[in-house]
Amino acid sequence: MSFELILVIVTAVTGVIAYVDRLVWRPKREGALTMEREPLLIEYSRSLFPVFLVVLVLRSFVIEPFRIPSGSMYPTLEIGDFIAVSKFSYGIKLPVTQTKIIPIGEPERGDVVVFSYPKDPDVDYIKRIIGLPGDKITYVGRTVFVNGKPIVQQPDGKYLGNDSGAVMNGANIVIETMDNGHSYHILHDMDKSSRDMDTITVPEGHYFVMGDNRDHSNDSRFWGFVAEKNLKGKAFGIWMNWDNGIHLNRLGKGIE
């Protein structure tokens, strides 16, 4: 059972208890000759319901925190980064069912998104959107082709990381720039063979995603596309990092 579903159930249960108490049980207690002590369940429900409700609203419709558990998004995101994700960038969705009720925006190439892993919806993944519905995507020799045109690449030195990131030291840092002007950094590990992919077409209502650590990412090249309904939001900032200690240089950093 997902945390979101548990939160919805707990909020609903405490809300119903607090509401029924206000209309039925409390008047009976106050009307009794001997004032009855308020049951602990009712006391806790009345106190915690507003807290659960605020957390549910913020988490479902405004912003949700996530922690980066793997190195698939180096150098953009590091292991131990705690990131903030906008839940309304691509529309307002109902919790649990993820039914869109208010359309706001659409994903763009280059967006870093959190989504439910298609092969296990209870697991959250984070990758970068490379292909939109209808795009033809090819990956050959560590170069991404979108609709037959290569994404421009520019070398930008060698990667030098700390703690968990040290495993990628020496990898090539490359700046990719999409045709919409969105630029970001990726890594090429020349000690590994490139995972090439023949041309595929992104179906309607789906997206093709890749990790920035191209040679160490389990992404759409391996398991296919991400359905629009699986998108949870757009990552926009790092609010903390803990990887064998706090890394202050990561705090408050935006996500390109």
Selection from 44, 57, 58 nearest residue 15 by Cα:
44
φ/ψ (deg, to 5) at 17? -60, -45
Is 72 labeled as catalytic in the residue annotation? yes
Q: What is the DSSP string of 162-173?
A: -GGGGGGTTPEE
Burial class (CB in 10 A: 0-12, 13-18, 19+), 24: exposed
Do 92 and 61 form a contact (C-beta atoms < 8 A)?
Answer: yes
Tell me how far apart the alpha carbons of residues 70 and 12 are, in angstroms, rounded to a whole number. 34
Which residue among 87, 93, 127, 234 is the active-site one? 127
Question: Is 220 among the catalytic positions?
Answer: no
Candidate list 60, 72, 116, 220, residue with the active-site label: 72
Q: Is the dihedral of CA 89, 91, 95, 96 positive or negative?
A: negative
Q: Is the bond preceding residue 75 a cis peptide, omega within 30 degrees?
A: yes
Tally of CB atoms within 10 A around 140: 13
Residues known to be catalytic: 72, 127
